[in-house]
A = this chain, B = another copy of it.
């Protein structure tokens, strides 16, 4: 039925080992013989069995990618970009969607990637226990976004710097009552919300503005959450004239809430997001842009390098550039709304 290496060997009149060497481009095969073998293999439609090959060699030519939700724009984009780099290098990608706590737990206790991948890219931040489990795999590891972990390469951005320019932008426009839509760090263990929040506090302090807890609400980094959080802020006694949303998705929710309240953006309220979501441009959202696909590619490259030079290439940390993108949702506060 399925054609094996011995079939090719027989048809080409050589031994299986020669076929193996020829097809993988290893030295020790004369040019004419190699050409002949390649021709025969193509004609027979031969592909080496991945199982047999990796059983014999110990290498799988496969990379594992674990992610909370492939469906979300950020993760989908990163997976997309990293997959392109991996496949261009001849690696296949095994995808694990670890959205729910149960699947996540199951993954880390059973570790289905063991003996199945040559390297692993994580788009979720492992806690210490999970990190230890991954290290036990004894393969190159990389994580995107958030806290450094021993033994992992890390690709990310400077969240504090990004949030700083976002909030400073609002301050520079003249805003003094600046709200924030934030998110919880747990249970995903990521440092992003912590750092973006700290930057907000730092800029306020720096500008001599008081921190008012009533101007902060948890939007859970989702559109609906952002809408809810914004609604909360609007219900407060002291409405903000500008809002820093820690993610574009929350900013979009906020825009919706503002529309429902018949408030004009940016006339009545300015909104700035974070991420530069693919649709941020469509809705004219001012935001902090980060290279999303770029982070996926970079992480993939780091892993490939470690795969190429075993031992020689240690884990690295790479910080990608960010920048403020001015669009249509921020403006100076309306003087009529100004506090005296």
Contact = CB atoms under 8 A, between A and B. Distances in A.
B97 A95 contact: no
Interface in A128-181: 136
A255 B259 CA distance: 16
A61 to B, nearest CB: 9
A47 B255 contact: no
A30 interface: no
A335 to B, nearest CB: 25
Contacts of A284: 256, 259
Task: Summarize A's interface: helix, strand, loop or mixed.
Answer: mixed
Interface of A: 2, 45, 47, 49-52, 54-55, 60, 62, 65, 69-73, 75-77, 79-81, 83-84, 87, 92-97, 99, 103, 110-112, 114-116, 136, 223, 252-253, 255-256, 259, 278-279, 281-284, 293
Copies of this chain: 2
B70 A136 contact: no
19 contacts: A45-B136, A47-B112, A49-B116, A50-B116, A51-B115, A62-B94, A65-B95, A70-B83, A71-B76, A71-B79, A72-B76, A80-B97, A92-B96, A92-B116, A93-B94, A94-B95, A223-B278, A223-B281, A256-B284
A76 B70 contact: yes
A37 to B, nearest CB: 16
Given A76-B70, A77-B71, A50 B51 contact: yes
Contact of A255 (B81, B116, B282, B293): B282
Contacts of A278: 223
